[in-house]
Structure 1
Amino acid sequence: MAVPAAPVLDCSLPQQWQLTTLLVLVVPMLFLLLATRSGRKARRLHLPPGPPRLPILGNLHQLGALPHQSLRVLARRHGPAMLLRLGSVPTLVVSSAEAAREVMKARDVDCCSRPDTPGARRLSYGHKDVAFAPYSEYWREMRKLFVVEFLSARRVEASRYAREAEVEKLIGRLSRAAGTPVFLEDHIFALMDGVIGTVAFGNIYGTEQFAHRQHFHDVLDEAMSAKAGFSAEDYYPNAVGRLVDRLTGAAARRERVFRDLDAFFDVIIDQHLDPSRAAPEKGPDLIDAFVALMRERRHRQQGVGFTRDNIKGLLSNVFTASVDTSSVTMVWAMAELIRRPAMLRKVQEEIRAAVGDDKERVQADDMPKLRYLKMVVKETLRLHPAVPLLLPRETLRHVGICGYDVPARTRILVNAWAIGRDPASWEDPEEFDPGRFERNKQDDVGFNGTHFELVPFGAGRRMCPGMALGVATTEFTLANLLYCFDWALPEGMAPEDVSMEEAGGLTVHKKTPLVLVPTRQDTHKSASSAS
């Protein structure tokens, strides 16, 4: 009799369990293998040196409240071309003139894009601007358009009326406050806002008819704060970063600021589209030019399209990149001068000798004669660049910088603040000394992107296109402040008591507001006080 075979016990797992087990065992092994290969590849690359990193954070914990200062300290230990990992983002920090020359000149074509960060993306209408847009054909055409319509030498000269009108108002406000302490930054910010607003929106911007101005100031402050504030997605550009921004409220704040800014721009554009609008007294303003271009492109359907969002993206650059930067430069210049009474007298004597005693204020034609004033502005930009880390760049492809390998999509920070204080380029670099440009035969050292020891506006393709307008307004305003008024500190305060501590994010302000007492010069008492 045949013995029946013993039943075979089926110990196999259900099919889905087998698949899960396979994934649990194999996937980590694959990740380990990829990481090992990636590590071997990284070891084969000659990467720039850098400080040790923490898991997950990388070097984020080393940035501090003032990253440009913290990064200079790290660069002194690790070199002028230093590689960090900020969260999950590889970041090259350059802190010398030679390293900056390689990034912004020798390898500029490989290092001229912008990283895609959520704040800049949203507030520029999906990178429909110039400052934050990645390098592309669109960016090249928009930059050309932006310069022609707003920032060319012709346009800067044409906007002279706005500078003169706003300086007249500033002199009037300070004349009425003469003898009492004033918060200088508030007055200068109002001037810059008026200059840029008038050029962009027309003469109505400075009148009571423009009912939206104060609301726009508040929205603009929020926009600047949102761009400069911490966003997890800036450093973890993935689902994790987006989730953290939602949980912390950063994403909701960005959206709220965007809606407010968008509503304001819509009102202004609609006003310019209104066929019953009166013709501007001083000719078409910036939005008129953009609206005309929008209609022309829509009609002809040629080149890169130009819509309301393009106008709004460019307008966001006009205000966030112009008003704040020039304002802080003027405040730093006045703070440095008030701490050095002899230097303050020297620049005032130059201005008053060149202009004479019979004028109410400095005229544009007087500016070429004010050589020492121009050195004061240049020295201020060296020690106090308004955007100390410039705007971040991103490599388009693998590139060699200072003999090191820098992979594609590496973020690049140019520490203009550290470069301006580098003892390899400057004698007594921490000392405010405008005369250095004349005494040390450095008078030809300028900030136009050809001298890399002085790069407050950057250089190369991504150099700030608003340099000419910003410098013209800064020099003209300072000349009038120093010509029309004598300046003193509040009673009981000595020059050495003026704090030069920094604070801020994207732009760096004085931590302690500058409070000064203006006194109108006797020779100008009869000058009119504009409202």
Structure 2
Amino acid sequence: MATFLPSTPSLDLHRIFLTALAFLASVFIFLLSRRSKSKRLNLPPGPPGWPVVGNLFQVAGSAKFFFHYIRDLVSIYGPIMTLKMGTRTMIIISSPELAHEALIQKGQIFANRPRENPTRKIFSSNKFTVNSAVYGPVWRSLRRNMVQNMLSTTRLKEFRGDRDSAVDRLIDRIRAEADSNHGVVSVLKHVRFAVFCILVSMCFGVDMDGDEIERIDKMMKAVLITLDPRIDDFLPILAPFFSKQRKRTNQVREEQLQTLVPFVEARRSALKNLSSNKTAASFSYLDTLFDLKIDGRKSVPTDEELVTLCSEFLNGGTDTTATALEWAIARLIEKPEIQSRLYEEIKSTVGDRKVNEKDVEDMVYLNAVTKELLRKHPPTYFALTHAVSEPVKLGGYDIPMDANVEFFVSSIGDDPKIWSDPKDFNPDRFLSGKEDADITGVTGVKMIPFGAGRRICPGLGLGSLHINLLLARMVQEFQWRATPTQKMSDFSEKLEFTVVMDPALQAVITARK
């Protein structure tokens, strides 16, 4: 997720700002000297900011969500613009042409990551993850291992049983809630748990009960909350005012290690007796990490680093997929004709048996629905933050090495210059052949829900599979309708790790006959 401030400021923001003025004054000359360097650069345009803090408090003090705030600015400053966020420079790109130039044509230069704040360094083991690693040997080793040894087509087939079990459990949980709640179910919580169960099985390869999975999930949510950006990430001089938050960060990291290291040890032990251990899976993501050789390093990953890599695997695929499925059900409720057409495709493909993941590969309309879903509702509205490895020009402007480069994927997917009626949810646009899009962005950027270029999400295939499979089973088993109190016209949204519906989707289900 892109690095930016929460949409609403903390209650004591102004007190912190006033108290910090004395400190800011003492370094004013130093910061101005740094600003003088940026003035010599031809940066993209942007809103005027305050001395020293730039646009930081304008953003933090806005009543709007960050992506709504940026949408307004795009209409004023154009497809590439600059925000000065304290000591950081943020460059936001919302043009498909500029995104393609940066991520594809100049992909090697734009493949880096910016400097991390201290909190993120703790949870990334000093940038020892696929997503956070500096573009170089460590990143290549970690990504190659994940893609080739875990996310290849052959490997994914090994986890079909885990997916089938999790989807069956999802259907049972939905049915049970409906039976006890007059047919009404909460969509997001159920699909999120199902996806998390699949990823836990793939990651650890050891048998767990529901309580253990819930405990891991609770801990992972605590990690994500702790990673929310703070004011001192952009103004390090304010760090003394956030000592309690830093203490909490260390506590959460310790809880993360205490929760996950036992499962790391359990898998290590299971591998020694795999032939006699009937509850252990034959393969897991952890198996690829225990003896992983990292280019430029002599040692294999430590237990702390293993926890970090496993956490990345779990976090990267849970909320993004669950969010997409919540929006998918909402859109099917909004347009019953799409839901009916999808159900007919499922029935004509599989008859009365359960739809499986091999079936969904051949369902043309289902894949069109998923593609339109990702165009209209990318799970996060910004790609993970990029940085350049050397100063470069983009769109005639200077991109310095210390800038956070953000790609506004939501704006690209809604661009009226490349999409007809972009506000309309219409899967048929992908069946006509006139508006198809390469989801990887290689042949041209029109939608990039998984990013694009060298740092494209390695879980693109897995995420698409999970969306297709779970959506197909949910439609096969149930007809979905709105509750009397749920308005399906405005599709309000809010940020909770990913962009979710506000309020969360409640739906009425009827079992199919």
Q: Report the Cα offset of residue 281 of structure 1.
A: 5.1
Q: Is residue 2:486 matched to residue 1:489? A: no
Q: Is the 8 A contact 1:196 1:318 kept in 2?
A: yes
- In structure 1, distance between residues paired with 2:380 and 2:35: 35
1:396 maps to amino acid: S
**What is aligned with 2:249?**
254
2:55 matches 1:59:
yes
SS at match of 2:81: strand
Alpha-carbon contact 2:419-2:435 (below 8 Å) kept: no
1:347 to 342, 347, 350: 342
Structure 1 contact 162–195 (Cα < 8 Å) conserved: yes
Please give the alpha-carbon distance, in whole angstroms, between the structure 1 residues aligned to 2:33 and 2:382.
Answer: 34
Code of the residue aligned with 1:189 in structure 2: it is R
Q: What are structure 1's unaligned runs of at least 5 residues?
A: 1-27, 523-531
SS at match of 2:389: coil
1:190 aligned to 193, 216, 232, which one? 193
Judging changes above 3 Å, is the alpha-carbon distance between structure 1 residues 37 and 497 closer, same or farther for their aligned structure 2 residues?
closer
Partner SS, residue 413 of structure 1? strand
Q: Could you tell me which residue of structure 1 aligns to residue 414 of structure 2?
A: 421
Match of 1:454 among 447, 451, 456: 447
Q: Distance in 2 between matches of 1:417 and 1:95?
A: 8
Residue equivalent to 1:47: 43
Partner of 2:239: 242
Moved more, 183-192 or 157-166: 157-166
* 1:117 and 2:117 correspond: yes
The reply to whether residue 315 of structure 1 matches residue 310 of structure 2 is: yes
**Equivalence map 1:374-393=2 (5 Å):** 374-393=367-386
Matched, 1:430 2:426: no
Number of equivalences = 477
Label 1:233 to 1:62 Cα distance change in 2 as closer, same or farther (>3 A): closer
TM alignment of 1:290-309, pairs within 5 A: 290-291=289-290, 293=291, 305-309=300-304
SS of alignment partner, residue 139 of structure 2: helix
Q: How many angstroms apart in 2 are the aligned matches of 1:521 and 1:203? A: 35
| 1:93 and 2:85 correspond | no
The 5 A counterparts of 1:187-336 are: 187-202=190-205, 204-205=207-208, 207=209, 212-227=212-227, 229-236=228-235, 238=236, 240-246=237-243, 249-274=244-269, 275=272, 278=277, 282-291=281-290, 293=291, 305-336=300-331
Cα shift readout 1:326-383 (whole Å, capped 9, x = no counterpart): 0000101111111111222122222222221x21x20223113311111111111111
Residue 145 of structure 2 is matched in structure 1 by 145
> Which secondary structure state, in structure 1, belongs to the residue aligned with residue 420 of structure 2?
coil
CA distance in 1, matches of 2:35, 2:207: 59
1:86–1:235 Cα contact (<8 Å) kept: yes
Quote the residue 2:167 is aligned against.
Answer: 167
- Kept in 2, the 8 Å contact 1:94–1:415? The answer is yes
CA 35–282 in structure 1, closer or farther in 2 if over 3 Å, else same:
closer
- Letter aligned with residue 45 of structure 2: P
User: How big is the shift at 1:175?
Assistant: 3.2
In structure 2, what is the equivalent of residue 480 of structure 1? 473
- Shift in Å at residue 165 of structure 1? 1.2
Report the Cα distance in structure 1 between the residues aligned to 2:152 and 2:238, rounded to whole angstroms.
40
Answer whether contact 1:181 1:517 (CA < 8 A) is retained: yes
Aligned to 2:362: 369
Change (3 A) 1:53 1:440: farther
Partner of 1:337: 332
Aligned to 1:527: none
Identify the residue that residue 516 of structure 1 maps to in structure 2. Answer: 507
Structure 2 CA distance for partners of 1:302 and 1:101, relative to 1, 3 Å: closer
2:134 aligned with 1:134? yes
1:181 lines up with 2:184 in the alignment? yes
CA distance in 1, matches of 2:488, 2:239: 45
1:506, CA displacement in angstroms?
3.8
Equivalent AA in structure 2 for residue 364 of structure 1? E
Q: In 2, Cα distance between the equivalents of 1:363 and 1:34?
A: 59
Shift of 1:172: 2.2
Describe the SS at the equivalent of 2:207: helix
Give the whole-Å Cα distance in 1 for the aligned partners of 2:31 and 2:500. Answer: 46
CA shift digits 1:430-457 (9 cap, x unpaired): 21111112236123x1312323120010
CA contact (8 A) 2:374 2:449 kept: yes
Amino acid across the alignment from 2:171 = I
Q: Is the 8 Å Cα contact of residues 484 and 520 (structure 1) preserved in structure 2? A: yes
Contact 1:124 1:316 in 2 (8 A): no
Greater alpha carbon shift after TM alignment, 320-329 vs 212-221 = 212-221
Note the alpha carbon deviations across 1:123-178, whole angstroms, 9 max, x for none.
12222211122222111111111222322222222222211111111122233335
Q: What amino acid is aligned across from residue 361 of structure 2 in structure 1?
A: P
Q: Distance in 2 between matches of 1:421 and 1:400?
A: 26
Residue 5 (structure 1) aligns with = none
TM-score computed with the length of structure 2 as normaliser: 0.86
How far apart, CA to CA, are the structure 2 residues paired with 1:255 and 1:313?
A: 14
Offset of 1:47 from its aligned partner? 1.9
- Matched-pair contact (CA < 8 Å) for 2:206–2:279: yes
The 3 A distance-change label for structure 1 pair 135 and 505 is farther
Which residue identity is paired with 2:384? L
What's the offset of the Cα at 1:196?
0.4
1:191 Cα offset (Å): 0.5
State the SS of the aligned residue for 1:90. Answer: strand
How far apart, in 1, do the equivalents of 2:406 and 2:83 lie?
Answer: 10
Residue 342 to residue 245, structure 1, CA distance change in 2 (3 Å): same
Q: Structure 1 residues 506, 118: closer, same or farther in 2, change over 3 A?
A: farther
Higher CA-based Rg:
1
Residue matched to 1:107: 106
Q: 5+ residue gaps in structure 2?
A: 1-24
CA deviation vs aligned residue, 1:85-121 (integer Å, no higher than 9, x gap): 1122011100010111122112222222212123321
Partner Cα separation in structure 2 for residue 230 and residue 37 of structure 1? 23
Q: Which residue of 1 aligns with 2:9?
A: none
| Preserved CA contact (<8 Å) 1:151 1:466 | yes
Which residue matches 1:402?
Answer: 395
In structure 2, relative to structure 1, the CA distance for the partners of 1:108 and 1:250 (3 Å cut) is farther
Contact 1:390 1:415 in 2 (8 A): yes
Name which of structure 1's ranges 171-180 and 132-141 shifts more when overlaid on structure 2: 171-180
CA contact (8 A) 2:186 2:506 kept: yes
What displacement does 1:316 show?
A: 1.4
